[in-house]
Amino acid sequence: MSQFLKKNKSCFIPVSSIFKNMLSRDKDGFTKLQDLLNEFSDNRLLITLIFFSLPIAIPLPYPPGFTSLFAIPLILFSTKLIIGNTEIILPHKIGQYKISNKTLIKIFSKMIPMIRFLESYMKPRIKFTQYKYTKNIFGYLSFISSIFILIPLPFTNAIPALSICIIALGFLNQDGLVLIIGLFIFFIGGAITFLAVTGSFFILLFSLKSIGRFFSST
């Protein structure tokens, strides 16, 4: 079994239950990101990937810079997934960033029903999650998806973020079918990102040519 998964299946706690415990917070307070991650139980690396990816896939009125704030840890922890390092430590500046508990409660409240719905269809099957190469491959996919999320273009955030969440849930529930679904979502997100980037490039090129013609004709 993968080193990222808790070996005692009888003690496995669903992610939805872990996130539900996060709702009992002082609504008027604030929580540092690093302190929040320290509250996650076993399998913290995969749960952390879910925490940072799923909010990006949920349309909520987040403050400016929220996507970048969550995408950078995704890059960091996807790298850890690749190299086999399960340590959950954020860069100091990001780890000390404070999020209001009202915002956290809103995020967890939105995530819990979605995760619970997905978990209801998950079960151990097509068990290739135990092989090291599987962890490496999906670590790379999560890393690439995290890069896509950082691209400041429409439609390049939500689908790559969803693929990371699905992949992490697939590992936690040892569901190979879910990992395959996450792979398809990754390719869809990659295709959309490619179209968005190339489309923006050609629009920019056309605009520059139009400006050049305008000034050359005057």
At 50 the pLDDT is 92
196 domain residue, yes or no: yes
| Beta-carbon contacts of residue 49 (< 8 Å; ≥ 6 apart) | 74, 77, 78, 81, 142, 164, 165, 167, 168
- Cα separation, 38 vs 196, in Å, equals 37
**Are the beta carbons of 100 and 39 closer than 8 angstroms?**
no
Task: Kindly report, residue by residue over 4-37, the tens digit of the pLDDT.
Answer: 555 445 456 789 888 888 888 888 889 998 888 8
DSSP H helices in the chain: 15-21, 33-39, 44-57, 66-83, 92-95, 101-119, 132-150, 158-172, 176-216
Averaged pLDDT score across all residues of the chain: 82
4 domain residue, yes or no: no
1 domain residue, yes or no: no
Q: Ranked by mean pLDDT, which of 91-100, 135-144, 148-157, 159-168 comes out on top?
A: 159-168
Q: Per-residue pLDDT for 169 more than 70?
A: yes
191 domain residue, yes or no: yes
pTM of the model: 0.83
At 115 the pLDDT is 92
Task: Kindly report, residue by residue over 98-117, the tens digit of the pLDDT.
Answer: 888 998 898 899 899 999 99
| DSSP code of residue 58 | S
126 domain residue, yes or no: yes
Q: What domain range is 95 assigned to?
A: 9-216
Task: Name residue, tokens 């970048």.
Answer: 68
Residue predicted with more confidence, 64 or 94: 94
Lowest average pLDDT, out of 22-36, 60-74, 179-193, 197-211, goes to 60-74
Structure tokens at 68: 């970048």
Share of the chain above pLDDT 70, in %: 86
Name the domain count of the chain.
Answer: 1
Confidence at 212, pLDDT banded by 50, 70, 90: confident
